[in-house]
């Protein structure tokens, strides 16, 4: 008889956003007269920019001709996209990345979940708390996180990020092998300074640890002194892997394309301590076995966002979403809510009023105003007492949601 991987049984029955969807669908069935406005799940609403659409049309035409048809592409990505990434995402910030260090994927979620395969199951894990659920769920699947007790995994080191510490994670007092950082942060919408990020790089170098750095929202950074890449910090090439996404940058949630950077200097040691192994080489081998590459059409679409027209059009969409964030922040603050984030990221992290629990407030907001948020505790124990709103809705829906919440509060 085949035996199940019992570590999967330790996961919650539903992924956080599946649980949110389940509750919302139940509400819709019971209240068909109410138009629900969702500011919970971080899906985009604005269409692809014209430069991307044009590039996709051209790529489809190429696929329809024998002379320009593309079959299996390189597993690690086409050179035209990898070169554009290096030229426009890194060189302007003084960061030097080699083509062989860039791996094109079908979205950052895949790679942030799969990257842990490269490291032994008994490596210790540390995460900022609250945190994007995929990081911990994927480590649970391999047996790395222990068991859940009182809302925490027993084998995970948590770095609490709350209003009390200005959402700045503190270095642990013990060694941690794998460190997950996400900035601008999902879910809190907060950022990290170069000085604070340098502390984590130095810690990783001292402890021979690896930082898994999710920079999916870097395009939303407004402040010039906030780092867009961990490689802006000296020494990070020896200890950090960085993930990027076009999902929120250019509306690719339905197109699926992103990339991961693994410098050749990032190493892990064998169990006997005799050999240091390049994770770049292992990931290349892993991708060659398990991944056939993002589609040619998706990669041509991604390349188009680096053209002069594409960059201008993508920035306009980002400005639109950040305009939503400003409207929401100002409205909520005028109602007396404590609001964080929303200035360098498309997420608002809001304190629940009166010390209510996250799920209780979720239900009250849904049934009282027909507005969907995401309960903060779904992102980790330090998320209790907060809820997340996204700025990815349409402008009219954002304004209507704020009006409804204001009326409900009264």
Contact 358, 385 (CB under 8 A): yes
Tell me the pLDDT tens digit for each residue of 286-300: 999 999 999 999 999
Same domain, 215 and 119: yes
The helix (H) or strand (E) run that includes residue 378 is none
Residue 211 counted as domain residue:
yes
| Position 15 pLDDT exceeds 80 | no
Instruction: Give the domain-ending residue among 307, 341, 371.
Output: 307
Same domain, 152 and 236: yes
Q: In CATH, what number is assigned to the domain containing residue 291?
A: 3.40.640.10
CB atoms within 10 A of CB 314: 23
Tell me the pLDDT tens digit for each residue of 333-355: 999 999 999 999 999 999 999 99
Average pLDDT over residues 305-325: 98
Instruction: Give the domain-ending residue among 307, 328, 355.
Output: 307
**What pTM did the predictor assign?**
0.96
CA 371 to chain centre: 23
Listed in sequence order, the residues at least 6 apart from 315 whose beta carbon sits closer than 8 Å to its beta carbon are none
Write out the residue range of the structural domain in which residue 140 sits.
53-307
Instruction: Give the domain-ending residue among 274, 307, 340.
Output: 307
Where residue 18 falls among pLDDT bands split at 50, 70, 90?
Answer: confident
Same domain, 175 and 67: yes
Listed in sequence order, the residues at least 6 apart from 236 whose beta carbon sits closer than 8 Å to its beta carbon are 201, 211, 230
Contact 182, 132 (CB under 8 A): yes
Q: How far is CA 83 from each of CA 80, 219, 259, rounded to the nearest angstrom? A: 5, 19, 12
Residue 1 counted as domain residue:
no
| 42 compared with 48, residue with greater pLDDT | 48
Instruction: Count up the domains in the chain and report the number.
Output: 2
């Amino acid at each position: 008889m085949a035996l199940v991987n019992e570590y999967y049984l330790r996961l919650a029955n539903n992924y956080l956003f599946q649980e949110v969807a389940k509750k919302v669908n139940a509400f819709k069935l019971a209240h068909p007269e109410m138009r629900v406005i969702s500011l919970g799940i971080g899906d985009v609403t604005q269409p692809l920019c014209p430069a991307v659409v044009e590039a996709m049309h051209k790529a489809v035409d190429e696929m329809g001709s024998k002379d320009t048809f593309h079959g299996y592409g390189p597993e690690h990505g086409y050179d035209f996209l990898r070169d554009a990434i290096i030229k426009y995402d890194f060189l302007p910030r003084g960061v030097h990345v080699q083509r062989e260090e860039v791996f094109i994927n079908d979205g950052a979620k895949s790679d942030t979940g799969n990257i842990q395969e490269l490291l032994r199951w008994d490596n210790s894990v540390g995460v900022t708390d609250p945190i994007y659920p995929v990081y911990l769920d994927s480590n649970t699947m391999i047996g790395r996180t222990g068991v859940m007790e009182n809302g925490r995994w027993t084998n995970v080191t948590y770095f609490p990020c709350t209003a009390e510490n200005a959402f700045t994670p503190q270095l642990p007092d013990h060694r941690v092998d794998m460190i997950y950082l996400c900035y601008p942060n999902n879910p809190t919408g907060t950022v990290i300074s170069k000085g604070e990020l340098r502390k984590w790089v130095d810690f990783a170098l001292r402890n021979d640890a690896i930082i898994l750095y999710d920079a999916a929202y870097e395009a939303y950074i407004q402040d010039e002194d906030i780092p867009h890449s961990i490689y802006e910090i000296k020494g990070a090439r020896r200890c950090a892997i960085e993930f990027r996404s076009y999902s929120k940058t250019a509306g690719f949630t339905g197109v699926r394309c992103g990339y991961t950077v693994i410098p050749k200097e990032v190493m892990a040691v064998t169990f006997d301590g005799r050999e240091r192994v390049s994770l770049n080489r292992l990931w290349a081998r892993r991708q060659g076995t398990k991944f056939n590459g993002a589609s040619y059409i998706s990669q041509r679409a991604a390349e188009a966002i680096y053209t002069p027209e594409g960059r201008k059009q993508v920035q306009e969409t980002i400005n639109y979403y950040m305009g939503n964030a400003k409207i929401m922040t100002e409205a909520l603050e005028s109602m007396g809510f404590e609001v964080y984030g929303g200035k360098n990221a498309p997420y608002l992290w809001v304190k629940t009023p009166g010390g209510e629990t996250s799920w209780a407030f979720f239900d009250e907001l849904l049934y009282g105003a027909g507005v969907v948020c995401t309960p903060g505790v779904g992102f980790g124990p330090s998320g209790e007492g907060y809820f997340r709103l996204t700025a990815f809705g349409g402008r009219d829906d954002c304004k209507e949601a704020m009006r409804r919440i204001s009326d409900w509060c009264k």
